[in-house]
Amino acid sequence: MNPSPRDKASTADIRTRIKRVIVESLMLEGLTPEEIGDDQALFGEGLGLDSVDALELVLGLESEFGIKVKSEQLDREAFSNVNALAGFVERHLELAGSMRAARK
């Protein structure tokens, strides 16, 4: 029985993985994941990402963490920085976990 992604993920690990997804899925050439601060603004100022980047990022996160993000849940707050994104991903992992539990 495979451990769920939630079981495997540690807090620090989630942030690192998120940063990797940001760099790779958004093709931020020349930027390393380590260079992205946990509370650095991602949109507008800061990293300067836009709405299409957000959509592309969602795809990357869905793929990396095995979660599903509904359109209604795409709000600026959740994507404001890596910390916020970590919370966003954790909530989705919990949701997936509790849905699995409910089905057992």
Partner 1 sequence: MAANARSGPRIWVTGLGAVTPFGWGMEAFARGLYEGRTAIRPLSLFSTDGHRTRIAGEVPAGLEDALAHLPPKQRARLSRTDGFALAAAREAAASAELELSEHGRPSVGLFVGSSTGGMLEGERFFGDLRTAGNRRLAASRIASQQHSGPADAIARALGIGGPVVTFSSACSAAGMAIEAALRSLRSGETEVALAGGADSLCELTYAGFNSLRAVDEQPCRPFQTGRKGLSLGEGSGVLVLETETHARGRGARALAELAGAGSSCDAHHMTAPDPLGEGLVLAIEKALTDAGVDLEDIDVINAHGTATPLNDVAEWKALERVFGARLARIAIQPTKSNVGHLLGACGAVEAVAALLALTQGSLPPTPTVDAVDPECPANLVIGAARALSYPATVLSVNLAFGGANVALVFRSDKPESS
Partner 2 sequence: MNGDVVITGLGTLGPHGVGTPALADGLSQGRPLFVPMDLAQGFHRSGSARLAGRVDPSGLKPWLDPLKVRRFSAPSKMAVVAARLALEDAGIERAELAGRDVAVSLGTAFGPNEITVKLLDQARETGPESASPFFFMESVANAHAGQIALDSQLRGANATIVQREASALLAVAQGLTYLESERCELALVGCVEEIAPVTHAMLDRFRALSAGDSELGRTFDADRDGFVASDGATVLVLEHEERARARGAPIRGKILAAIRANDPSATASNWGDGHAHLAAALRRGLRRSGIERERIDRIVSGANGSRQGDRVEGLHLREVFGAELPPILAPKATTGEYGGGFLAAAVLALDNLDFGPTPGFERVDPELGIRPHDGRRLPDARCLLVSSLAAGGAAAWLLLGRA
Q: Which residues bind partner 2 (CB under 8 A)?
A: 26-31, 48, 52, 55-56, 59, 62-63
Q: Name 41's Cβ contacts closer than 8 Å, sequence gap at least 6.
A: 47, 80, 81
- At closest approach, how far in Å is the CB of 19 from partner 2? 16
- At closest approach, how far in Å is the CB of 104 from partner 2? 26
Residue closer to partner 2 (CB basis): 56 or 90: 56
CB under 5 to 8 A by kind: which of partner 1, partner 2, none does 71 bind?
partner 1
Question: Could you give the dihedral angle defined by the CA atoms of residues 34, 35, 36 and 39, in that order, rounded to the nearest 10 degrees?
Answer: 100
State the Cα–Cα distance between residues 62 and 8, nearest whole angstrom. 16
- At closest approach, how far in Å is the CB of 48 from partner 2? 8
State the Cα–Cα distance between residues 95 and 89, nearest whole angstrom. 10
CB under 5 to 8 A by kind: which of partner 1, partner 2, none does 27 bind?
partner 2
